[in-house]
Chains A and B, each alone.
Chain A
């Protein structure tokens, strides 16, 4: 079984998966943020590979990606940072990126390197499940990189079952039909959607993401799933910070409440 899934199932609830854009706010902040997230008790790290054209992302992640690229982040120094963090950290690391980034590197070369440097999983929002299944599933399995596919309120039951079959880490339940970074409370309509998915009794664990930004929304997400993914809110907290270690600690403790 994939290590991410093992950890989610062992704990069973209140999983906190924190996203940040690699290379933001500075190039050398990757390793300290990873360490600090682990020390603060986050369960999973989702490391965003900054992309020039992140279609599914709101303005916060867009700007952090632009900044990270301007800081000089590339795949080479990103993997070096992951390797460095892995010398001391055991927390599961997922890489999140757009399919073109893997394509250019070469899918197998990328997976080999990811595996070699201690990456446990990937999220690729614009890789369609059908193409993954036909062309790449075997390769991801060979390098033990666990995939997590997205479902949304508009995803059909058939596709939800496909996501359940193909996701060997967890199902990424997108909380609403939107790009990342929405603020505000969780509506009744969203709760009904969470319940509907719960009632499907899927075999994969579920984490809820998009719009989870504080203790209240995190708690609500945890009530309906194995836990939550927080991204834009953490990026906003990191903005202009000099001391990423202490910001990370206080952010995680505020979220956990």
Chain B
């Protein structure tokens, strides 16, 4: 079998990926590249990772057949309940893996960027667990709109540093984290929260998240007698929950892969984060991918009501899946996502994260057959978005 959706040794997925980092980061990134697979394959590492996922995170996460949602779309819709993980989203799968890796690299200090705050909380949590110093960079705008997560990070002992440059959102928080890493290259590990950044991060994050699709395989087998769905649907900011939900199906052509991007106020409104649709090939945060930029190569500030999707780029694996036709993309606006939050809450008794709601909102764009098994990665719960929901419902 030709694994054409896995990266080359240099971290390229087709034309995308690689490690375009300044020399100041070269030795750190190269060290990670040289050891990450070896460390991840050690039986001791696997054992520790699996035990923590089971006993601390609460895995496996359930696969739930959502009956009303299924009826309204005329197919079988299963929700992969990453929202039930400890800390409320898929993000912790990756931070558990990376903190174990950081310990083996003898790093004393952990930094992270965060948008919605879910990755920041997941990083602060594992740092508390392991007794490591934790600094989280977060855009000043996001600090306001995701206040509960800021409070959680602080309770967990992390220092939250506002990123005041640019649009003051996820892109700028990521810039600040990278600059911190340049200044503290020797003692610090940078836990990137999505399938973005220089090689080996996209592959490493994808592999830690791939527990999602591994569980989907066995859970579906049990429930349907088939080990694969007809569709997997996931929202995409940088692309970690999507990468994890897709991983074991990447080379299985029976499975259609669907990504949901944030259209913000509309794809052509000038206030959007529909990265793959509006983006062109270029470099952001150390990797070649699709990103929103001007003709002069200046990165454009995106917009989405959801802080976790408010990012101008997309992970390089997804750029390759999309441009090669393996994955399809649909975009949902703020309003469509909010409506999806409200419907899922009323119909299924599950309040999803605003990010996740984009994956629910695009279902109506797809023509499902009656017997199709559709898995949606329910990447997180909506508690953190309560203020946004209250404001939105108040205004509408």
- Contact between A125 and B22, CB atoms less than 8 A apart: yes
Instruction: Write the nearest CB–CB distance from A193 to chain B, whole angstroms.
Output: 13
Q: Which 7 A-B pairs have the closest CB atoms?
A: A104-B297, A150-B23, A125-B22, A101-B297, A52-B298, A154-B27, A100-B283
Q: Check if A53 sits within 8 Å of B179, measured CB to CB.
A: no
- Interface positions of A from 122 to 165, Cβ below 8 Å from B: 125-128, 131, 149-152, 154-156, 159
Q: Is the CB of A53 within 8 A of B175?
A: yes
Which B277-309 residues have a C-beta within 8 angstroms of A? 280-286, 293-299
Contacts of B298 in A (CB 8 A): 51-52, 69, 101
Q: A128-B19, A150-B23, A150-B24 are in contact. Are A101 and B179 (CB under 8 A)?
A: no
Residues of B within 8 A of A105 (CB): 296-297
Find the A residue at minimum CB distance from B179: A179
Give A126 to B283 CA distance when docked, in angstroms.
10
> Is A126 a contact partner of B284 (Cβ separation < 8 A)?
no
Residues of B within 8 A of A75 (CB): 296
Taking the closest CB of chain A, its distance from the CB of B290, in whole angstroms, is 12
B81 to chain A, nearest CB (A): 36
Quick check: A177 and B185 within 8 Å, CB to CB? yes
State the CA gap A51–B280 with chains docked (Å).
Answer: 17
- Nearest-CB residue, chain A, relative to B178: A55
Which of B186, B280, B296 counts the most A-chain CB atoms under 10 A from its CB? B296
Given known contacts A126-B20, A179-B182, A103 and B26 CB-to-CB distance under 8 angstroms: no
A207 vs B225: C-alpha distance in the bound complex, in angstroms?
Answer: 67
Q: Is the CB of B26 within 8 A of A155?
A: yes
> Chain A residues with Cβ under 8 A from B175's Cβ?
53, 55
A101 contacts B27, C-beta separation under 8 Å: no
Report the separation of the CA atoms of residues A103 and B175 in the bound assembly, to the nearest whole angstrom. Answer: 20
Q: Which residues of B contact A246 (CB under 8 A)?
A: none
Q: Which of B6-28 contact A (CB under 8 A)?
A: 18-24, 26-28
Is the pair A126, B21 in contact by a Cβ cutoff of 8 Å?
A: yes
Task: State whether B183 touches A177 (Cβ < 8 A).
Answer: yes
**Interface pair B182/A178, CB less than 8 Å apart:** yes
Nearest Cβ on chain A to B113's Cβ, whole angstroms? 13
Kindly state whether residue B324 has any CB partner on chain A within 8 Å.
Answer: no
Q: Name A25-63 residues within 8 Å CB distance of B.
A: 51-53, 55-56, 58-59, 62
Quick one: closest B residue to A51, CB to CB?
B298
Does A128 contact B20, Cβ atoms closer than 8 Å?
yes
Contact present for B286 and A154 (CB under 8 Å): no
- Given A126-B22, A128-B21, A154-B24; A104-B295 close (CB under 8 Å): yes
Measured between alpha carbons, how far is A128 from B283 in the docked complex, in Å? 13
Contacts of A100 in B (CB 8 A): 282-284, 293, 297, 299
B228 to chain A, nearest CB (A): 38
B221 within 8 A of A: no
List the B side residues contacting A159 at CB < 8 Å: 23, 26
CB distance from B36 to the nearest CB of A (A): 18
Alpha-carbon distance A174/B171, docked complex (angstroms): 26
Is the CB–CB distance between A150 and B22 below 8 Å? Answer: yes
- Chain A residues near B (Cβ < 8 Å): 51-53, 55-56, 58-59, 62, 66, 69, 74-75, 98-105, 125-128, 131, 149-152, 154-156, 159, 174, 177-179
**B→A interface (CB under 8 Å):** 18-24, 26-28, 165-166, 171, 175, 178-179, 182-183, 185-186, 280-286, 293-299
Rounded to whole angstroms, the CA-CA distance of A159 and B30 in the bound complex is 12
A202 to chain B, nearest CB (A): 15
Complex: A159 Cα to B282 Cα, angstroms: 26
How many Å lie between the Cα of A179 and that of B166 in the bound state? 18
Contacts of B19 in A (CB 8 A): 128
A126 interface neighbour in B27, B186, B286, B294, Cβ under 8 Å: B286
State whether A53 and B22 are in contact (beta carbons under 8 Å apart), knowing that A103-B282, A155-B27, A179-B179 are contacts in the complex. Answer: no
Q: Which residues of A contact B296 (CB under 8 A)?
A: 74-75, 101, 104-105
CA distance A101 to B284 in the complex (A): 11
The answer to whether B185 and A154 touch across the interface, beta carbons within 8 angstroms, is: yes
Given contact pairs A100-B299, A179-B182, enumerate 10 new A-B contacts (beta carbons under 8 Å). A55-B175, A103-B283, A104-B295, A104-B297, A127-B20, A128-B20, A154-B24, A156-B27, A174-B24, A178-B182
Query: Cβ of B293 and Cβ of A104 under 8 Å apart?
Result: yes
Whole-angstrom CA separation of A174 from B281 in the bound complex: 30
Are B23 and A155 closer than 8 Å at their CB atoms? yes
CA distance A118 to B183 in the complex (A): 35
Question: Chain A contacts of B165 at CB under 8 A?
Answer: 59, 62, 66
Chain A residues positioned under 8 Å from B185 (CB to CB): 154, 177
A-B contact pairs, 9 of them (CB 8 A): A55-B22, A55-B182, A59-B165, A104-B296, A125-B23, A126-B22, A126-B283, A174-B23, A177-B185
Q: Report A-chain residues with C-beta under 8 Å of the C-beta of B280.
A: 104
- Residues in B with CB closer than 8 Å to A62 are 165
Q: CB distance A152 to B282 under 8 Å?
A: no
Give B201 Cβ to nearest chain A Cβ, in Å.
14
